[in-house]
Chains A and B, each alone.
Chain A
Amino acid sequence: MKILAIESSSSSLLLGLHKKNKFFSLESESINNTAKNINIMVDKILKKSSSTLKDLDAIAISSGPGSFTSLRVGMSYAKGLSFTLDIPIIPVSTFEILLFSNLKKVKGETSVLIYSHGRTVYKCDYMVKNNTYKLINDPDTFIIDELKKTKNNIIFHGRKKFFDEFKNEDKQNINTDLDIKSLVELSIKNFKLLKTKSLDNLSPEYVGNFEIK
Chain B
Amino acid sequence: MQETNLYRSNSPKETEKIGNEISKSIQFGTSIFLIGDLASGKTTFTKGFAEGLGFKSKVQSPTFPILNEYSYKDKFIYHFDLYRLKSVSEFLEIGGLEYLSNKNGICLIEWPKLINNLDFEKKIEIHFKHIKEDKREIKLSL
Contact = CB atoms under 8 A, between A and B. Distances in A.
Are A and B subunits of one complex?
yes
Interface of A: 11, 32, 67-70, 116-120, 143, 210-212
Contacts of B100: 117-118
A212 B118 contact: yes
Contacts of A117: 97, 100-101, 118-121
Interface stretch (B11-19, B36-44, B87-95): B87-95
A119 B119 contact: yes
B134 to A, nearest CB: 37
B60 interface: no
Contact of B98 (A68, A118, A119, A143): A68
A211 B87 contact: yes
Contacts of A212: 88, 117-118
Given A67-B98, A117-B121, 9 more contacts: A32-B98, A32-B102, A68-B92, A69-B98, A116-B101, A117-B100, A118-B100, A120-B119, A211-B88
Contacts of A211: 87-89
A120 B117 CA distance: 12
B97 A119 contact: no
Interface in B90-120: 92-93, 95, 97-98, 100-102, 117-120
Contacts of A70: 98
A52 B88 CA distance: 41
A67 B96 CA distance: 10
B119 A118 contact: yes
B121 A118 contact: yes
Contacts of B97: 67-68, 116-117
Contacts of B88: 210-212
30 contacts: A32-B98, A32-B102, A67-B97, A67-B98, A68-B92, A68-B95, A69-B95, A69-B98, A70-B98, A116-B97, A116-B101, A117-B97, A117-B100, A117-B101, A117-B118, A117-B119, A117-B121, A118-B100, A118-B118, A118-B119, A118-B120, A119-B121, A120-B119, A143-B119, A210-B89, A211-B87, A211-B88, A212-B88, A212-B117, A212-B118
B42 to A, nearest CB: 23
| Most A-side CB within 10 Å, residue of B93, B100, B118, B119 | B119
Contacts of B98: 11, 32, 67-70
Contacts of B95: 68-69
A21 B97 CA distance: 39
Contacts of A210: 88-89, 92
